[in-house]
Copies of this chain bind each other. A is one copy, B any other.
Amino acid sequence: MATAVAATGHLRVGEVAEQTGTTPRTIRYYEEIGLLAAHGQRPKGVHRLYTAEDVERVREVMRLRDLLGLSLEQLSALVEVESVRRHLKDEWAGATDVTDQRRILAAALQCASTQLELVRERQEQLAQLEAQVRARRQSIERRLRELSSRRPASPPALAPQPRGAPYPQTT
Contact = CB atoms under 8 A, between A and B. Distances in A.
Interface of A: 8-10, 39-43, 46, 49, 51, 53, 63-64, 66-67, 69, 89-90, 92-93, 98, 101-102, 105-106, 108-109, 112-113, 115-116, 119-120, 122-123, 125-127, 129-130, 133-134, 136-137, 140-141, 143-144, 147-148, 153, 156, 158-159, 161-167, 170
Given A165-B90, A166-B40, A167-B43, A116 B134 contact: yes
Contacts of A163: 8-10, 51
Nearest to A152: B98
A137 B116 contact: yes
Contacts of A106: 144
Given A10-B166, A49-B167, A109-B137, A123 B126 contact: yes
B89 A159 contact: yes
A167 B49 CA distance: 9
